[in-house]
C-alpha cells in the first residue's frame, strides 16, 4: 500500500441504480476529472421481497446494458476499474448471472477484452444453519428469531459483503467487477481503502455516492456525481450544471432510509457521524469531515432471504353508492364471514386482504382519518397455496360482495363497478422476506472471487 | 400551527423491510431549534399520531447537521407482506403533516 498524503482518490458514480440511466454529458464531465474508479450500485431491497425470492431483476435489461456499455468503454479507455455492487437488483446467484451475461453481450458487440471478476453473495443454507446452531444469528429490527425451517424455505439467501472481497478482486487486477449482494458503500470504498485512504471517510463517501445525484439539489436518480477523497475529508461534486450539492442536501441524505442518522451500521463496524461537519464550497461542492469508522467487536454480515408465501389473485372494483359506502367495513366483514362459511378449513382472515382506497387504502392501520370519499376503490387480494386456491377465494369474495343484500340497499342490481373483464387477475407467486438477520462470521470464506478472461468478446468460463 | 410552516421536507420511507422512518427537514436552524426547544415530539407523541403502541416507536432523533427530526417506527406489516399497502413506505408521512400544535412565541 502506498502512502496517499496530498493525493486524492476520485470516484465517478454514474447513476443511483444501474439501469436507471444518466446523461452522457454528465458522464463525460466526470471522466474529464480523471477518476480512479467508476462504481455503481446495482440494486436494493426496497422494491420488496419478490425480486430476491424469484431471482428476477427489478431493473430493465436494456437500461442496464446501455449504462454498462458506456461505463465499461470509458473504464477500459481510462484504465480504471468498473465496479457494480448488488448486481441484478438483489445480488443473488440468478441476478449476478443475469448481469454477467449482459456484460458478455456488451463485450461481444463492442469487441472489448478485459478481466472480469465475479463475487457471488449467496450464503448456503448449511452455513446459515451452522451459525444458527452456534447462536451466531441475531434478528434485525423487529424480525422474528430465525428457524431452520425458514432457512430451508428460502429460495435465495444473500449476505451484504463489505470491502474485503472487492479488495481481493482489485488486487487480482479485475477490470470489471460484478458483485452479488453488497453493503452499498463497499463497491465505492474498497479500492480507496486498499490504497491507504481512511476507511470511515471512504465508506461515508460511498454511502452518499451510491445514490449518485439523489443527494444533490435538485435531486435525481438518473444523473452522475463525483466524490473526491482526500486524506482528512471528502468533497462531493455535481456533474450537471443544473444541480449542486448543498450542506443540507448532503446532510439530509445521511437520514435517507436509515433509522439512526448518527450511526450507520455495516459489515465489520459502524460509521459514526456525531462529529461530522458539512461545508459548502464553490461550484456546488460540499466538503465532509469528521466521519469515524468504529469496528464492531465481532465481525458480522447482514443476511437477507425470501421465501414463497403463496400465489396471489386480485380484483379491482369501485362503489359510488353512499348507502354502501357508509357501512362498507361492516359489509366487507360480513361477506368475508360468508366466504369463510363456504370453506371452513381455509383461514380466510389471513388469506384475504381488502384495501379500501378513498378510506384507508394507502395507510391501512396507520390511517388516522375516519373520513371517506364519495366513491371508494376496492382492491381484493387473495393469497392461496396454489394459484387455483387464490383464484377461488378471490372469485367467491368478489361474486358474494357483488350481490350481497346489505341493510338499506336500494340499488339491487349489483354493488360494484368493475373496470375490467375478466374482473380477476391471477398475479402469480408471492414472496415474503424470510431472513433479515445479522450473522456473526467465524472465519468462513463467504464471498469467493471467480475471475474470467473475456477476450475480444469470447470468454473462457461460462 | 403545523409542521408545513416550519419544514421544507416531510417524508416517509422504509429503513429496511421492517422499519418505517419519517424525516422532517426544518427550513432553517431557527425553525429547528424553536421546535426542538418546545419539546413537543417524543416517542409517546409519535405513537399517538400514528395510533400505535409506544413500544413500536423505535426512535425519535434530532439530527443537527441537517436541521432534521427523524422518527422511526415498526412497520405494521413487513414490506411486501400480505396486506402491505405501501412497499416503499413512501406515503406514510401524513399524520406528521396534519399534526396541529402550539409553539410558544419568542
**Which among A257, A353, A361 has CB closest to B13?**
A257
d(CA A272, CA A204) in angstroms, rounded, equals: 9
Longest dimension (CA), chain A: 83
Q: Mean per-residue pLDDT for B84-90?
A: 95
d(CA A238, CA A30) in angstroms, rounded, equals: 9
- pLDDT tens, position by position, A283-330: 999 999 999 999 999 999 999 999 999 999 999 999 999 999 999 999
Residues of B in contact with A251 (CB under 8 A): 63, 65-66, 68
Probe site for chain A from B21, B73, B82 (most A CB atoms < 10 A): B82
Say if the Cβ atoms of A363 and B72 lie within 8 Å: no
Residues of B in contact with A257 (CB under 8 A): 13-16, 21
What's the confidence (pLDDT) of residue B105? 64
Q: Identify the H or E element spanning A9.
A: strand A9-13
Candidate ranges A1-5, A172-176, A441-445; pick with highest mean pLDDT: A172-176
Q: Mean per-residue pLDDT for A378-403?
A: 97
Residues of A in contact with B88 (CB under 8 A): 46-47
d(CA A277, CA A250) in angstroms, rounded, equals: 11
Q: Is the pLDDT of residue A424 over 60?
A: yes
- pLDDT tens, position by position, A105-116: 999 999 999 999
- pLDDT tens, position by position, A124-180: 999 999 999 999 999 999 889 999 999 999 999 999 999 999 999 999 999 999 999
- pLDDT tens, position by position, A181-198: 999 999 999 999 999 999
- pLDDT tens, position by position, A48-61: 999 999 999 999 99
- pLDDT tens, position by position, A244-264: 999 989 988 888 888 888 999
d(CA A449, CA B6) in angstroms, rounded, equals: 51
Residues of B in contact with A353 (CB under 8 A): 82-83
DSSP label at residue B82: T
Residue in chain B closest to A369 (alpha carbons) equals: B95
B2 touches chain A (CB under 8 A): no
Decide: helix, strand or coil at residue A243: coil
ipTM surpasses 0.85: yes
DSSP label at residue A144: P
Residues B40/B70, Cβ–Cβ less than 8 Å: no
**Which has the minimum average pLDDT: A201-210, A373-382, A438-447, B42-51?**
A438-447
Supply the DSSP string of A269-281, one letter for each residue: EEEE-TT-EEEE-
Decide: helix, strand or coil at residue A369: coil
What's the confidence (pLDDT) of residue A462? 45
d(CA A370, CA A368) in angstroms, rounded, equals: 7
Q: Is the pLDDT of residue A1 over 50?
A: no
Cell numbers representing residue A327 in the block: 357501512
A219 touches chain B (CB under 8 A): no
List all residues of chain B from 55 to 94 with a beta carbon under 8 Å from chain A.
58-59, 61, 63, 65-68, 70, 72, 74, 76-88, 91-92, 94
d(CA A197, CA A190) in angstroms, rounded, equals: 10
Number of residues that this document lists for chain A: 462
Say if the Cβ atoms of A363 and B85 lie within 8 Å: yes
**Which has the minimum average pLDDT: A5-9, A231-235, B63-67?**
A5-9
Probe site for chain A from B11, B17, B60, B86 (most A CB atoms < 10 A): B17
Q: Is the pLDDT of residue A273 over 50?
A: yes
Amino acid at each position: 500500500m502506498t502512502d496517499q498524503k496530498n493525493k486524492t482518490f476520485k470516484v465517478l458514480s454514474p447513476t443511483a441504480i444501474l439501469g436507471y440511466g444518466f446523461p452522457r454529458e454528465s458522464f463525460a464531465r466526470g471522466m474529464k476529472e480523471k477518476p480512479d474508479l467508476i462504481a455503481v450500485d446495482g440494486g436494493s431491497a426496497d422494491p420488496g421481497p419478490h425480486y430476491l425470492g424469484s431471482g428476477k431483476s427489478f431493473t430493465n435489461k436494456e437500461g442496464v446494458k446501455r449504462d454498462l456499455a458506456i461505463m465499461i468503454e470509458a473504464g477500459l479507455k481510462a484504465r480504471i476499474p468498473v465496479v457494480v455492487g448488488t448486481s441484478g437488483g438483489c445480488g443473488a446467484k440468478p441476478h449476478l448471472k443475469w448481469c454477467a451475461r449482459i456484460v458478455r453481450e456488451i463485450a461481444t458487440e463492442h469487441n472489448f477484452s478485459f478481466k472480469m471478476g465475479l463475487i457471488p453473495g449467496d450464503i448456503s443454507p448449511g452455513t446459515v444453519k451452522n451459525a444458527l446452531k452456534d447462536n451466531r444469528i441475531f434478528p434485525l429490527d423487529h424480525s422474528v428469531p430465525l428457524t431452520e425451517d425458514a432457512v430451508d424455505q428460502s429460495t435465495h439467501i444473500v449476505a451484504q459483503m463489505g470491502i474485503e472481497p472487492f479488495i481481493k478482486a482489485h488486487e487480482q487486477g479485475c477490470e470489471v467487477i460484478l458483485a452479488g449482494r453488497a453493503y452499498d458503500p463497499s463497491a465505492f470504498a474498497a479500492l480507496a481503502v486498499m490504497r491507504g485512504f481512511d476507511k470511515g471517510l471512504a465508506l461515508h463517501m460511498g454511502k452518499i455516492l451510491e445514490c449518485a445525484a439523489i443527494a444533490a439539489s435538485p435531486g435525481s436518480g438518473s444523473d452522475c456525481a463525483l466524490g473526491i477523497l482526500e486524506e482528512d475529508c471528502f468533497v462531493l461534486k455535481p456533474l450537471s450544471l443544473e444541480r449542486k450539492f448543498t450542506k443540507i442536501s448532503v446532510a439530509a441524505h445521511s437520514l435517507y432510509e436509515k433509522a439512526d442518522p448518527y450511526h450507520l451500521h455495516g459489515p465489520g463496524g459502524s460509521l459514526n457521524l456525531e462529529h461530522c461537519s458539512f461545508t459548502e464550497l464553490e461550484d456546488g461542492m460540499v466538503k465532509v469531515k469528521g466521519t469515524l469508522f468504529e469496528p464492531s467487536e465481532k465481525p458480522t454480515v447482514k443476511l437477507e432471504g425470501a421465501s414463497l408465501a403463496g400465489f396471489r389473485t386480485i380484483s379491482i372494483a369501485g362503489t359510488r353508492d353512499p348507502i354502501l359506502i357508509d357501512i362498507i367495513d361492516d359489509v366487507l366483514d360480513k361477506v368475508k364471514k360468508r366466504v369463510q362459511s363456504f370453506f371452513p378449513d381455509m383461514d380466510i382472515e389471513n388469506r384475504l386482504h381488502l384495501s379500501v382506497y378513498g378510506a384507508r387504502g394507502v395507510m391501512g392501520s396507520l390511517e388516522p382519518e375516519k373520513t371517506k370519499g364519495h366513491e371508494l376503490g376496492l382492491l381484493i387480494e387473495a393469497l392461496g397455496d396454489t394459484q387455483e386456491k387464490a383464484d377461488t377465494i378471490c372469485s367467491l369474495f368478489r361474486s358474494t360482495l357483488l350481490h350481497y343484500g346489505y341493510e338499506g340497499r336500494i340499488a339491487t342490481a349489483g354493488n360494484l363497478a368493475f373496470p375490467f373483464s375478466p374482473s380477476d387477475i391471477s398475479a402469480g407467486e408471492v414472496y415474503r422476506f424470510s431472513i433479515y438477520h445479522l450473522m456473526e462470521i467465524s472465519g468462513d470464506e463467504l464471498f469467493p472471487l471467480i475471475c474470467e478472461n473475456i477476450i475480444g468478446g469470447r470468454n473462457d468460463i461460462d | 400551527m403545523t409542521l408545513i410552516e416550519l419544514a421544507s421536507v416531510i417524508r416517509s420511507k422504509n429503513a429496511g423491510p421492517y422499519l418505517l422512518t419519517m424525516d422532517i427537514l426544518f427550513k432553517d436552524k431557527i425553525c429547528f431549534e424553536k421546535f426542538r426547544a418546545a419539546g413537543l415530539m417524543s416517542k409517546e407523541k409519535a405513537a399517538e399520531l400514528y395510533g400505535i403502541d409506544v413500544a413500536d416507536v423505535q426512535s425519535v432523533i434530532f439530527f443537527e447537521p441537517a436541521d432534521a427530526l427523524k422518527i422511526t417506527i415498526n412497520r405494521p406489516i413487513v414490506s411486501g407482506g400480505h396486506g402491505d399497502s405501501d412497499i416503499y413506505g413512501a406515503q406514510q408521512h401524513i399524520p406528521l403533516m396534519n399534526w396541529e400544535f402550539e409553539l410558544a412565541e419568542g
